[in-house]
Each structure stands twice: as C-alpha cells, then as structure tokens.
Amino acid sequence: MQIKAKDLAVLLKGSIEGDPEVSIHKASKIEEGEEGSISFLAKPSYEVYAYSTKSSILLVSNDFEPKKKINATLLRVDDVYEAINFLLKQFGQKSKRSGHSKLCEIADTAEIASDTYIAAFTVVKDGAKVGEGTEIDEQVFIGKNTKVGKNVILYPGVKIYHDCVIGDNCIIHSNAVIGGDGFGFKPDEKGVYDKVPQIGNVIIESNVEIGANCTIDRATMGSTIIREGAKLDNLVMIAHNVEVGAHTVIAAQAGVAGSTKIGAHCVIGGQAGIVGHIQIANGTKIQAQSGVTKKIRKENTAMYGSPAIDYTTYIKSYAIFKNLPELMEQLKPILKRPTNNK
C-alpha cells in the first residue's frame, strides 16, 4: 500500500502539519523509522525518538506539543492506537488464496466449498465440511465429521480431531491441537489408572483466535466451548468441559482445569492457573501467575496471588510482606520485654 499524507488524513479523520504530498508505503517503529514509512507516538517515554526519527509521517495525538523541531510530517488524530490499528490492518491485508494442492488428501465424502484454499500435505477426513473462503495451510489435519466455517484461517500444522466445530472467521495458529482427549483417568483399588473415554467434542464459536501450540481438549461428554470473539494467546491449555466466555482474553501459558466456566469479557494473565469445577464471573481480571482456587461470584473483580485474593488486598499485603525482616527487627525488643503474669 502506498498513500500520501493528505489521503491518510481523510481516512483517519486527522489533520496534517507538514508536507501533505509526502507518501508512505510501510509502517515502522518510531525508533527504527526510515524514509517512506509511517510511525506513531502514543507513550511519552518514546517522545525522544520523535525528534530523530527518519519516518516520513509521524502519527500523534491532537494534544501533542513538541518541544523541538520534528522533521517528519505530523498527522494528528483523536486516538493514536485506534488509527494505527486501522493502518496495520491495511498494510497486513493479504490477497485471498484459492485452489487445492495436488499433494493434499481430501476424503470423497468431505464437503469442501469451491473457493477454499488447501495446501500440500493437508488431510481432510470423511464427513468433514469446510466453508467458503477458508484457507488451510500445509500439514493441517481435519478429522472425521468436523465442521470448519467460512473465512477461517488454519495455519501450518493445526490438528483438529473428529466431530469438532469451528465457527466463521476464526484464526488458528500453527500446531494448535483442538479436540485431543481430556485428562480423564480413574484409579482402581490398586492405584492403577484406567482411561475414561472422552466422547464429547470441542465447539469454537465465530471470530475466535487461537494462538500457536494451544491445546483445547474435547469434553468427556457434551462439549468444551470457546465462545464468540474469545482470544487465546500461544501455549494456552484448556481442559475438558471448560467453557470460555465471549470476548474473554487469555495470555500465554495459562491453564484452565476441567469443567470450569469462565464468564464473558474476562482478562486472564500469562501463566495463571485456574482449578477445575468452579465459575469465574463476567469481567474478572486475573493477574499473571495467579492461582485461582475458588469460585469468583462478583463481576468485574480483580484477583492477584497464589492462591489468588482481591487485587488491592494482595498489593497491600505484599507491601507488608516484603518488609517483614525490618518489621521483625522492630518487634524483637518488644518480644524480649518481661511480662507480668498474674
């Protein structure tokens, strides 16, 4: 994409300070800017780069007041992050692919829409369905009777087991495994574990994005469900019969144990762990590395620690905890005082 500053201003509903005819063809970080690129300034800590960047256009907020001369043409907007998000989507657009590689394997009973793209060494099993506009990269496996919706992107190495459902407009990144067996075993009287059959499936609703190397286990019975618009980072583990609410986001290396129900619009930090068979209320925020061991009933609660407690309580407690050695030194003289026992 190549575009002039004056045309960008129209697209972003912004105003120009500098050369309206200057054009850009790519985006770059402000500290690495070069001629022909657009960069943005959103955080005050990066302002120092505004005066040295070689970017042709610098996207700034309407209230930005430079302290020195800036060589780049300024494009002022109300919301820098919203504007740069719009631009990145334009630069990141890819042309639609279609056609099936001669090296893919598609079962005779599979139903594949005519305008799909299927790359080499991908396998689509009996009874599977793939919707219009879907793009499937190399070495993807789609199991028996699995349904993949419209405009889905499956990156290389994705594995989707039998009977699962993927909604429209989903993105699943490389090496994610959808529908592997849940961790279900029952010990006998000798402590020998017998496998409990996992006969359910996974349902991923529309507009969900699943990061690389995620694992989402199939239900023992019923379904493991990822609701509309949820986003999972890389290396997230979702156990059997879990439900992740609509528009909830989960950062990398977090894990959710079996049968837990997470509400809508929750934010779960990296490496957080959530035990099984509990409910997490809508809007809950769980800090990174926290361990949630009990039900969270109140909506929009922030939790921190392991086991997790109220965020504000944790911060206050930590302030005391880190000073325990000094506090103990202050207590020693008091503890050594003689007591009058009556």
pLDDT, tens only, 56-93: 999 999 999 999 999 999 999 999 999 988 888 877 77
Crossing angle (nearest 10°) for helices 80-91 and 5-12: 120
Confidence of residue 322 (pLDDT cuts 50, 70, 90): confident
Q: What is the pLDDT of residue 87?
A: 86
The pLDDT of residue 44 is above 70: yes
Residue 291 dihedral angles phi and psi, to the nearest 5°: -120, 115
Report the Cα 104 to chain-centroid distance in Å: 30
312: CB partners within 8 A, 6+ apart: 302
DSSP codes, 208-228 = -EE-TT-EEEPPSSSEEEE-T
pLDDT at 192 over 60: yes
Output the pLDDT for position 327: 85
Tens of pLDDT, residues 251-295: 999 999 999 999 999 999 999 999 999 999 999 999 999 999 999
A 10 A CB-CB count for 293 gives 12
- Residues 6+ positions from 111 with CB-CB distance below 8 Å: 128, 129, 130
265 is catalytic: no
- pLDDT tens figures, 116-131: 999 999 999 999 999 9
3-state secondary structure of 316: helix
Question: With contact defined as beta carbons under 8 Å apart, do 238 and 216 qualify?
Answer: yes
Q: Worst-scoring range by mean pLDDT, 214-218, 322-326, 334-338?
A: 334-338
Q: Tokens 């960047």 belong to which residue? A: 53
Among the residue ranges 29-43, 58-72, 194-208, 323-337, the one predicted with the least confidence is: 323-337
Strand partners, 75: 16, 59
Q: Which of 240, 247, 265, 277 is catalytic?
A: 240
Domains for the chain: give ranges and CATH numbers: 3-91 (3.40.1390.10), 99-315 (2.160.10.10)
The DSSP-derived string for 45-84 is GGHHHHTT---SEEEEETT---SS---SEEEEES-HHHHH
Could you report the per-residue pLDDT of 147-176, keeping only the tens digit for each?
999 999 999 999 999 999 999 999 999 999
* pLDDT at position 314 over 90: no
User: Per the structure block, which two tokens stand in for 52?
Assistant: 């040295």
For all residues of the chain together, what is the average pLDDT? Answer: 94
Is the peptide bond prior to 156 cis by the omega test (within 30 degrees of 0)? no
